[in-house]
């Protein structure tokens, strides 16, 4: 069901897999700074307290949070109003500080001019000025040709560098350097710091909290296998499909899901705890074999080998089946001792995570090998046996498999459960709902006929569903319509961002192509969404305003050879226009001076 314009979904809770993406202060509203590439040799280890709390939430002790509950509500609570008279005093303080700063600049200017006037005789300014004028009058036109040509060359190089930097990092290099280095020197940052209790400080804190909650990355529920898929892509193309930031988040996920505080009691688990932190893939694989030498039933060692050493899906499935046998044995043993101590409860949560992960990856292996009904059965059993783990988004795997079976009634049943206003949305849910409504009218849809007789009720519902999906993630249609080339999806995605669009289109493009006329209807209607949201960063229609930090997070999640899709489209920075104008004007002057040296020489002397 498509909610009305006034029924906006509640803020999304990312659950245990959500990761906050830091937004650096001091940049414009749409962040364009260069991503921060960490240069460390090992993945950071999650503290014991943090990992314990994460595991607690993963294993079902916490409920799927809706938009208004829990920490989100606490973090979004308004700051208490300042005492009476505090706001007025803060305002007077800021205005007085600004006035004093302006007066100080004026005094410095007046003092400098007075000093220059007082020293005009000792410095012989008049004589020096006359000498400079005589020197300029003696210059030949060749000098002006060389001067303007050199200026044009330098400004052209600056313009090319600015354009390249903007295309690669989404910001102006000169603007970034000015904000980062020059602004603190002239006191810009100091003047913008609000008073601790002022209303502006409260509003800024609320804005920062909102940006932080918007920029959270999720584990991609359809992520590929590193050895059998990502590494094969690297062998063929020589390009790395995963970024260090993405792999770092995966390492933190592995530490959260596959380790616990009692690992020190078992030597094999101690080895695997170090293996998940290791950055070098051969070192991780070597540690997994060491763990198997210590304990042949170490399920997490088989998981690591299946993910990273297996070069085909068949080999990965064999290793996951071995991991399943070991994982079920350890899980039953943990169930028997779960009430003995808190340590045994933590161990059961860890073993539950391992078992669910193995079964889910086995279902994905079956899906990739063509045994789709087997994959659907495994996913349905997982969702029934472990309902608290619905935040792992197993239903998105199920949706994709059911679409492959063309079981559209079952797809609608899954959407009826998960496409709810109180649950977090995703591109898979929104675009699958649009696909089902498009399916009922796409084979008979014609733009000419629709413009002549108008849209029917079913066509209106389909168009509204497409508009809803496009508003949630405006990057997807370009990939579905093949206006942009696809790449391998990352292991983590940012909801409403380009990374989520890549992951959705990579798996669902075939389902849109299978339905006759679906892409044609999408092509005719998707751009109409933007007329309803002329200012998407400020106000949305069915969802909250589009987050302004998606570009920054997507640039860290997606490889550098991929051209990140940016929404809304940004205008070129001022310095690109400035350097382009400077290059063009100096080049024109150089050409005119070369063609008409006498006239330009007279003009230069007249200006001088």
pLDDT at 321 over 70: yes
How far is the first Cα of the chain from the last one, in angstroms, to the nearest whole number? 73
- Helices 299-308 and 342-368: crossing angle in degrees, nearest 10, is 30
With beta carbons less than 8 A apart as the criterion, state whether 608 and 136 touch. Answer: yes
pLDDT at 184 over 70: no
Q: In CATH, what number does 259-404 get?
A: 1.25.40.10
Q: What is the pLDDT of residues 251-292, one digit of tens each?
A: 999 988 888 887 777 888 899 989 998 888 899 999 999 999
Give the number of residues written for the chain: 608
DSSP state of 473: -
Q: Given pLDDT bands bounded at 50, 70 and 90, which one contains residue 190?
A: very low
- Helices 299-308 and 313-336: crossing angle in degrees, nearest 10, is 160
pLDDT of residue 582: 77
* Closest among 290, 285, 355 to 320, alpha carbons compared: 355
Is the C-alpha dihedral spanning 542, 545, 549, 551 positive or negative? positive
pLDDT of residue 63: 34
| Positions of E strands within 113-194 | none
Buried b / exposed e along 569-608 (16+ C-beta atoms within 10 A): eeeebebbebbbebbeebbebbebbeeeeeebbeebeeee
d(CA 46, CA 52): 9
What is the strand order of the sheet 216-219 is part of?
19-20, 216-219, 492-494
CA distances to 72, 108, 372, 543 from 486, rounded to whole Å, are 35, 58, 24, 26
Phi, psi values for residue 516, rounded to 5° = -65, 130
Q: How far is CA 67 from the centre of its chain?
A: 20
pLDDT at 424 over 90: no
Q: Which residues contact 101 (CB under 8 A, 6 or more apart)?
A: 187, 191
pLDDT of residue 182: 62
Strand 19-20 to 492-494 pairing: unpaired
pLDDT of residue 209: 45
Q: What is the pLDDT of residues 85-110, one digit of tens each?
A: 444 455 566 666 666 666 666 777 78
The contacts found for 293-298 with CB under 8 angstroms, 24 or more apart, are 294/267, 294/268, 295/266, 295/267, 295/268, 296/326, 297/326, 297/329, 297/330, 298/268, 298/269, 298/272, 298/326
CA distances to 73, 79, 82, 451 from 198, rounded to whole Å, are 22, 10, 7, 55
Q: Given pLDDT bands bounded at 50, 70 and 90, which one contains residue 111?
A: confident
Q: What percent of the chain stands above pLDDT 70?
A: 70
pLDDT at 389 over 50: yes
Q: What is the Rg, in whole angstroms, of the alpha carbon atoms belonging to the chain? A: 31
- For the record, the structure tokens of 383 come out as 């969702």
pLDDT of residue 515: 92
| DSSP, residue by residue, 573-598 | PHHHHHHHHHHHHHHHHHHHHHH-HH
Lowest mean per-residue pLDDT among 72-76, 142-146, 372-376, 521-525? 72-76
Q: Is 19 helix (H, G, I), strand (E, B) or coil?
A: strand
DSSP state of 456: -
Lowest mean per-residue pLDDT among 367-381, 484-498, 509-523, 574-588? 574-588
pLDDT of residue 196: 42
> What's the whole-model pTM score?
0.65
DSSP state of 216: E
Q: Which residues contact 24 (CB under 8 A, 6 or more apart)?
A: 31, 33, 36
């Amino acid at each position: 069901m498509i909610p009305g314009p006034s029924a906006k979904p509640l803020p999304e809770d990312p659950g245990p897999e959500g990761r906050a993406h830091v937004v650096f202060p001091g940049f414009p509203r749409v962040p364009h700074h260069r991503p921060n590439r960490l240069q460390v040799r090992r993945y950071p280890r999650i503290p014991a307290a943090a990992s314990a709390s994460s595991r607690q939430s993963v294993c079902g002790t916490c409920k799927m949070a809706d938009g208004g509950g829990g920490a989100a509500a606490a973090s979004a609570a308004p700051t208490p109003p300042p005492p009476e008279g505090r706001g007025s005093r803060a305002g007077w303080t800021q205005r007085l500080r600004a006035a004093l700063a302006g007066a100080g600049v004026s005094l410095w200017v007046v003092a400098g001019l007075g000093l220059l006037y007082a020293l005009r005789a000792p410095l012989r300014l008049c004589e020096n000025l006359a000498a400079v004028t005589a020197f300029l009058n003696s210059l030949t036109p060749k000098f002006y040709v060389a001067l303007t040509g050199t200026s044009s060359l330098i400004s052209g190089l600056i313009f090319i560098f600015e354009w390249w930097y903007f295309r690669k990092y989404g910001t102006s290099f000169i603007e970034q350097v000015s904000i980062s280095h020059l602004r603190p020197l002239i006191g810009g940052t100091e003047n913008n710091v609000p008073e601790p209790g002022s209303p502006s400080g409260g509003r800024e804190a609320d804005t920062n909290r909102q940006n932080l909650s918007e920029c959270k990355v999720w584990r991609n529920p359809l992520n590929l296998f590193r050895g059998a898929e990502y590494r094969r892509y690297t062998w063929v193309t020589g390009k790395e499909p995963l970024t260090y930031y993405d792999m770092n988040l995966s390492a933190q996920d592995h530490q959260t899901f596959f380790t616990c505080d009692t690992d020190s009691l078992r030597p094999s688990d101690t080895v695997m705890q170090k293996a998940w932190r290791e950055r070098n893939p051969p070192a991780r694989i070597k540690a997994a074999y060491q763990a198997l030498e210590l304990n042949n039933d170490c399920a997490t060692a088989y998981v690591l080998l299946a993910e990273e050493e297996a070069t085909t899906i068949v080999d990965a499935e064999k290793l996951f089946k071995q991991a399943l046998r070991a994982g079920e044995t350890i899980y039953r043993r943990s169930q028997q001792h779960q009430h003995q101590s808190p340590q045994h409860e933590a161990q059961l949560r860890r073993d539950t995570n391992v078992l669910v992960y193995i079964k889910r990856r086995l279902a994905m292996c079956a899906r990739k090998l063509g045994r789709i009904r087997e994959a659907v059965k495994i996913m349905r059993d997982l969702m029934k046996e472990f309902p608290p783990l619905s935040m792992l988004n197993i239903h998105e795997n199920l949706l994709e498999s059911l679409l492959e079976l063309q079981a559209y009634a079952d797809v609608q049943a899954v959407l009826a459960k998960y496409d709810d206003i109180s649950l977090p949305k995703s591109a898979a849910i929104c675009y699958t709902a649009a696909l089902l409504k498009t399916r009922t009218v796409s084979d008979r849809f014609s733009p000419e006929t629709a413009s002549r007789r108008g849209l029917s009720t079913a066509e209106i519902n389909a168009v509204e569903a497409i508009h809803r999906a496009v508003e949630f993630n405006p990057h997807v249609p370009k990939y579905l319509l093949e206006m942009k080339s696809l790449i391998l999806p990352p292991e983590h995605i940012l909801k409403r961002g380009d990374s989520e669009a890549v992951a959705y289109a990579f798996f669902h493009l075939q389902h849109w192509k299978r339905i006759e006329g679906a892409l044609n209807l999408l092509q005719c209607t998707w751009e109409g969404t933007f007329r309803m949201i002329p200012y998407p960063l400020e106000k949305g229609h069915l969802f909250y305003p589009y987050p302004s930090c998606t570009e920054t997070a997507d640039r860290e999640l997606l490889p550098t050879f991929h051209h990140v899709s940016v929404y809304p489209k940004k205008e070129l920075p001022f310095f690109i226009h400035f350097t382009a104008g400077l290059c063009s004007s100096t080049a024109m002057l150089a050409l005119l001076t070369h063609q008409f040296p006498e006239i330009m020489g007279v003009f230069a002397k007249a200006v001088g």
